[in-house]
Chains A and B, each alone.
Chain A
Amino acid sequence: MIRHTEIHGVISRLSLLRSICVACLLFLSFVQNGAGHAYSDQERFRKEPPYPDPLLELRLPQIETATLSNDLRLSVLRRQRQPVMQLLLIIGTGESASPENAPGIATFTANMLNRGAVGLSFSKVIESIEAMGGNFTATTYPDYSVFSFSFLEDYLEEALNILSRMILQPAFQRVEMDNVIRTMYFDLVNKNDSPDVIGKRVLRKILFKDHPYSKIAFDETVRRNLDRRGLVDFFKKHYHPNNAEIVLIGDLSLQIAARKVSRYFNTWTSQDVNRNALPPPKPNQELKICLVDLPDAKDARVYIGNTIVLRNPNDYFPLTVLNQVIGGSAHSRLFMNLRESKGYAYWAFSSLEFFKTSALFTISERVRPEVISESIRESLREMQKISTSIVPSHELEQAKSFLIGHFPLEIEDSVNFLDKLSALRAYDLGDTQWRQYYKNLMLINAENVFDVAKNAFFNTPVIVIIGAIQILSERLNDYELNVYDRSGKLQYTINKGALE
């Protein structure tokens, strides 16, 4: 097993050799050009890219955690000289916990949280948050919900005060409920023309069929599920300190944070909450091609995906490398093949979304409709290739090098950083997963990637194509096509050109 420091040492020695080579080249250049520089005869060092220095270690602050007397978990990530402080409230329940007959309730409840409290109107909440130079957002994931609150560092007490009033004295006023329902409705209606929203919604509905995760794929008809009773029931059932965690990011110690948080949240009482992890959704095991008609679309959008069962949390790293090899960037296989080599696609990428015990792998492409069949064939070929043959070492190293270089950039962005941090806390992954990110990635070899690829049912994905059905269907005559509406309801089937 190679330790991180040893890797660093190897790179340092290599770098020393490189430095010597570069010094020799520079000396030769000096001899050739003479001491005086002539612009027309350019310096030798301009001809080739310079060698990189040794990679610097990524040092991330440790997360310190305590549990308060009411079972509320509190974590502090100490970052000095940060003029803006961040607070995350994570509720360990997400959209998958919405009642069976009422998807959307979890999202509705989260969206209602900052809409006032007893004796505090919504406009007063907004004024108070903005007086702190603050920003408050609510996001509902399948397994958990996150309230992200940033504010100028001097306003921690005010931020905790207002958050505690939202949690401990929610008003859930009718007028605010109507406003939230209206906003959710129009947001969803406005997204109905977006091929990206439609594609991902239909893909999720099909892949998560019969699994609680399917509730995340709701559309504007969710409006009829949203009422005060459902909201209050959901809040009472899930919003308890033993199902929550507060994470503070800023220049303060865990001890001070605990004192301040306790002061505002000590009357929040625990209650029995079902926190059993859901079983992972079963991967799709038969290739399925689905079409959604967007008659005016000039090109076709393709979404190819399948769920992956995580055997353990360590699958995260080989899967991340796998995703990078196949479609993580413009230098990955899909982009190079479908765009650069064949010219079928404007772009082609892949992504991974991790859940507690599973992941969703998705390829997204924008392709020319006249080559839709060829694009799908090539995409499937790439998926098959990665699950039947070992990734060559140079490609593996390039993927790892990209990921290592890009990770600090990702976490430099506060939204991405908070996203990753909330997933880390909600899934109890422990901070070594990211504090040792470089080491964990460096250790991944081609066999690890091959191993997770074989486990991934890449030969039998669900394919959702969004575009003008008239143009697309005749080019897909070789396949059985399932035609869905924009909300993900099956309309009819075309079996190799014949309507059924």
Chain B
Amino acid sequence: MIITSVLIKSSPKLPRKGFHVLGCVLLGALLCLEAPAQEEKPFPFDIMTYELENGLRVILAEDYSLPLVSVAVAYNVGSINEQPNKTGIAYMLENLMFQGSKNIGHMQHINFIQKIGGNLNAVTEEDKTIYYQTVPSNQLALVLWLESDRMMSLDINAQKVARTQNSLIREIQRRKISDAYFDSTLHFDRLLYPNEAYSHPIIGAEEDLRELTSKDVKNFYSLYYAPNNAVLCVTGNFQKSKARNLVKKYFSTIPRGPSIPELPLTDHKDSDDTVKTLENYTAQSPAFHLGYRISSPESTDFYTLTIIEYILLRGRSSRLYEKLMLKDFTARQLNGGIETRKNLATFKLFVRSNTETMMERSQKTVFSELNDLRSDLIDEDELERAKSMFKRDYINRYAKLADRAIFLVETYLAKGSLDGIATEMQRYIAVTPSAVIGIANRYFYKGRILLNIKIK
């Protein structure tokens, strides 16, 4: 058994605003793009990580504020792992995980949790699937019993698969009706991502879902839903030693699964600008999707790119929101930001306007703002504001126990460990004005993917 204990010690508080003098920043920028890391501010909780012999990685993070515990189990599998013509299988499996295992009846997992006042949910993404629940802390054993049973012995049969198939096909049809831009988003993702594995929708294609068999689902489950492909996290009010005993009791005898095949990772294609138009589209108003392929989440550029996301899009005082939605009123909807799918990241925007003229004006504004970001050094106050907004959102990612468990398993899956997690926020806070201008020039200079939507 490998045991790593990460005890994050407290350190002095950060000065409220650091490295302000523009001259110093510029001088620093000549030497390096990122300022030296600031004094670290600790997490408000301790973390312990270890691994069972069957390969299950375990994270324990105590917090005695409320008599609650959250348990998250993340499997390192998502829609990217699906084979061609078998799309939707990861999401289907997420649904089946609530429909019973060897010792737990159909939908009983939900009943057990809800009866004791708990909450539960699950999420399937391109590169991971996470199951999580929060319950009164005296019920930790119950949750571990439930999670271990479905990791060990999920009951998959033809009847359940057929029922889930029908329900998912109805969901696709519902989404197409409720979201007029469902098809344009899929079209756009195909332009932006290098291949179908990255670009296809998590919910799957209707024609693929129809053809899935219970054997397909069982094979997918046997391969990916094994302890050696999972991370378990418990957060909240528990005693570490007791939690470790419970984890051992329920999970250590689950056999290790087969080796997980390496995913053939792909890089973004280098390309010039791509501009396409969907004519006669059925929707209420014209819109456009805009995207840039950016550096992978593991690169150091990613910190600055995240702060750029805040400068442009997060908060009512962000450049694009203020300009398009509050001052010029040329857009009626503005969404977007950085999106990561495994090793690839993109910067996406979706803007919807009332008329085509308004849409064109919105587009000009977006390009003009991106140009400004590339040509003018950002004002220090504006950068600090973006960082404050980022910091608030980052803190909120671990404010509640379930969110904290999700945050920890996501970080573990993305980085392979929790090393450096306490100083991670400081890397974003250390971004300088010159880094912003440099990174904006690197990623927003060429290679834009633009999809215009013209309505009937």
A residues lining the B interface (CB < 8 Å):
37, 39, 42-43, 45-58, 79, 81-84, 123, 126-127, 130-135, 152, 154-155, 329-331, 398, 401-409, 411-414
Contact with A along B100-141 (1 / 0, CB 8 A): 001100000001101111110000000000000011111111
With contact pairs A131-B381, A331-B115 given, residues A46 and B149 touching in the complex (Cβ less than 8 Å): yes
Judge whether B317 and A401 touch: CB under 8 Å.
no
Judge whether A152 and B392 touch: CB under 8 Å.
yes
A130: chain B residues at CB < 8 Å are 315-317, 385, 388-389
Contact residues of B between 344 and 400, Cβ < 8 Å to A: 381, 384-385, 388-389, 391-392, 395-396, 399-400
B residues lining the A interface (CB < 8 Å):
13-14, 16, 41, 44, 65-68, 102-103, 111-112, 114-119, 134-142, 145, 148-149, 152-153, 237, 249, 253, 255, 315-317, 322, 326, 381, 384-385, 388-389, 391-392, 395-396, 399-401
A398: chain B residues at CB < 8 Å are 115
Judge whether B388 and A123 touch: CB under 8 Å.
no
With contact pairs A52-B139, A133-B388, A409-B68 given, residues A331 and B114 touching in the complex (Cβ less than 8 Å): yes
Closest approach, in angstroms, between the C-beta of A254 and any C-beta of chain B? 20
Give 9 CB contacts A-B under 8 Å. A46-B102, A51-B141, A55-B138, A56-B237, A123-B322, A133-B391, A134-B392, A154-B16, A331-B111
- One of A43, A54, A152, A414 near B388 (C-beta < 8 A): A152
With contact pairs A123-B317, A130-B385 given, residues A408 and B115 touching in the complex (Cβ less than 8 Å): no
Closest approach, in angstroms, between the C-beta of B84 and any C-beta of chain A? 34
Judge whether B66 and A412 touch: CB under 8 Å.
yes
Closest approach, in angstroms, between the C-beta of A467 and any C-beta of chain B? 19
Judge whether A47 and B103 touch: CB under 8 Å.
yes
Closest approach, in angstroms, between the C-beta of A57 and any C-beta of chain B? 7
B116: chain A residues at CB < 8 Å are 52, 401-402, 405
A43: chain B residues at CB < 8 Å are 253
B253: chain A residues at CB < 8 Å are 37, 39, 43
Besides A126-B316, A331-B111, A412-B400, 12 new A-B residue pairs in contact (Cβ under 8 A), listed by A number = A43-B253, A49-B112, A49-B145, A51-B141, A82-B44, A401-B115, A401-B116, A402-B115, A403-B117, A405-B116, A407-B117, A408-B66
CA distance A414 to B400 in the complex (A): 9
Closest approach, in angstroms, between the C-beta of B33 and any C-beta of chain A? 24
Judge whether B316 and A411 touch: CB under 8 Å.
no
Judge whether A131 and B138 touch: CB under 8 Å.
no
- One of B67, B118, B152 near A57 (C-beta < 8 A): B67
Judge whether B141 and A50 touch: CB under 8 Å.
yes
Judge whether B136 and A405 touch: CB under 8 Å.
yes
B137: chain A residues at CB < 8 Å are 53, 56
A50: chain B residues at CB < 8 Å are 141-142, 145
Closest approach, in angstroms, between the C-beta of A136 and any C-beta of chain B? 10
Judge whether B119 and A409 touch: CB under 8 Å.
yes
Judge whether B395 and A83 touch: CB under 8 Å.
yes
- One of A48, A55, A83, A330 near B67 (C-beta < 8 A): A55
Closest approach, in angstroms, between the C-beta of A47 and any C-beta of chain B? 5
Judge whether A414 and B399 touch: CB under 8 Å.
yes
A45: chain B residues at CB < 8 Å are 145, 249
With contact pairs A46-B102, A412-B68 given, residues A52 and B138 touching in the complex (Cβ less than 8 Å): yes
- One of A49, A82, A83, A408 near B136 (C-beta < 8 A): A408
Closest approach, in angstroms, between the C-beta of A14 and any C-beta of chain B? 12
Question: Which A-B residue pairs are the 9 nearest by beta carbons?
Answer: A405-B117, A406-B117, A133-B392, A56-B67, A133-B388, A50-B141, A53-B138, A81-B44, A405-B136
Q: Which residue on B lies nearest to A411, using beta carbons?
A: B66
CA distance A405 to B135 in the complex (A): 7
CA distance A424 to B40 in the complex (A): 38
CA distance A251 to B115 in the complex (A): 35
Judge whether A133 and B389 touch: CB under 8 Å.
yes
CA distance A155 to B385 in the complex (A): 12
CA distance A329 to B118 in the complex (A): 11
CA distance A82 to B65 in the complex (A): 11
Judge whether A84 and B102 touch: CB under 8 Å.
no
- One of B114, B255, B400 near A329 (C-beta < 8 A): B114
B139: chain A residues at CB < 8 Å are 52-53, 405
Judge whether A131 and B388 touch: CB under 8 Å.
yes
With contact pairs A47-B103, A412-B68 given, residues A39 and B255 touching in the complex (Cβ less than 8 Å): yes
With contact pairs A57-B67, A405-B136 given, residues A42 and B399 touching in the complex (Cβ less than 8 Å): no
Closest approach, in angstroms, between the C-beta of B391 and any C-beta of chain A? 5
Closest approach, in angstroms, between the C-beta of A186 and any C-beta of chain B? 11
With contact pairs A133-B388, A412-B66 given, residues A46 and B145 touching in the complex (Cβ less than 8 Å): yes
B148: chain A residues at CB < 8 Å are 46
B326: chain A residues at CB < 8 Å are 123
CA distance A37 to B142 in the complex (A): 21
A413: chain B residues at CB < 8 Å are 400
B153: chain A residues at CB < 8 Å are 42
Residue among A37, A131, A413 with most chain B CB within 10 A: A131
CA distance A79 to B399 in the complex (A): 13
Closest approach, in angstroms, between the C-beta of B65 and any C-beta of chain A? 8
CA distance A408 to B141 in the complex (A): 18
CA distance A99 to B241 in the complex (A): 62
B395: chain A residues at CB < 8 Å are 83-84, 152
Closest approach, in angstroms, between the C-beta of A40 and any C-beta of chain B? 11
CA distance A155 to B153 in the complex (A): 51
Judge whether B399 and A408 touch: CB under 8 Å.
no
Q: Which residue on B lies nearest to A81, using beta carbons?
A: B44
B118: chain A residues at CB < 8 Å are 405-406, 409
A329: chain B residues at CB < 8 Å are 114
Q: Which residue on A lies nearest to B401, using beta carbons?
A: A412
CA distance A217 to B66 in the complex (A): 37
Q: Which residue on A lies nearest to B15, using beta carbons?
A: A154
Q: Which residue on B lies nearest to A60, using beta carbons?
A: B66
Judge whether B67 and A58 touch: CB under 8 Å.
yes
